[in-house]
Structure 1
Amino acid sequence: MFASAPAFARLQCAPYAREVSGIDIHGNAHTWWQQAEGIYQKGSAPKEQAVMVFRSTPAMRYGHVAVVSKIVDARHVLLDHANWSRPGMIEHQSLAEDVSSAGDWSEVRVWNDPSHSLGLRANPVFGFIYKAQPQSPSVPVLAPAPKLLIVSATPQPVTAPGEVLLVSSAG
């Protein structure tokens, strides 16, 4: 799945999320939300295979991105992500809980593997980037107008001035 890398290189969340989700955005995780504008659909509701985009904080300078692998209920999802609990570690089916007061997924707590519990910190979230391309506005496509050829109902013989047209009925 991933190209081999030197032993000192650690897998980061952004390349992992890009590979798993198919959402082709590059750069630090906290920049994904703005980069997705006009390219991918975005929203505040989790959907399977959507990328959850975390804001940067003092604890997460570059933000974080994770792929929603399953919707559990209105306030819980499972995430696949890298570099969360330990540097370079890939985690599958990690629980994330919406802890926002409005229930809008603007703050989440995420499973921390070393403590075997949800993390203590509420992490701010921009929202979710969906794989589907944005809807383009509905603009009717007009077909070119047909070219009209006007033909007289009664054909008129064409003659040069001074010429006489002879019509023979013998055939």
Structure 2
Amino acid sequence: MAEEAARRAVAELPLLRTAAGPRDREGWAPRLKEEYRALIQYVENNKRADNDWFRLESNAEGTRWFGRCWYIHELLKYEFAIEFDIPVTYPNTAPEIAIPELDGKTAKMYRGGKICLSDHFKPLWARNVPKFGLAHLMALGLGPWLAVEVPDLVAKGIIQHKEK
């Protein structure tokens, strides 16, 4: 069921065309425009489906991204700061999203609070370069990670709701 929802969400996202990263001065601006269009579309789709779950913004160059994400579990909202940098080899390499406040609290995380996406998401990203972008990273990477990890962390008592 979750896989089907992910497929639907991705099917509604525009695929990106420009194969350029931050080091490609001429190609990066068009790629960044495509990224913003896809992110805006994803946010609009989520709001329409009453599934709004993140806010994201970047520095002026579009190389450093930061924001907040949240997950509703048992009618309680768990909210986290997120951050990531665009790798110099982007779009061939997917960004690594970090949730610093969860650093060291789950095995599915690397040093610095970077979430583990290597088993499921990174092979999918590699098969879809340059069509996938940041909206796909959120939809197929961070979203499913939160859906698995937050309930598990709550059940183990590792994280608690702010009001408890």
Q: TM-score range by the shorter chain?
A: 0.3 to 0.5
Taking structure 2 as the reference length, what is the TM-score of the superposition?
0.34
| Higher Rg of the two aligned structures | 1
Taking structure 1 as the reference length, what is the TM-score of the superposition?
0.33
The structure in which a higher percent of residues are strand is: 1
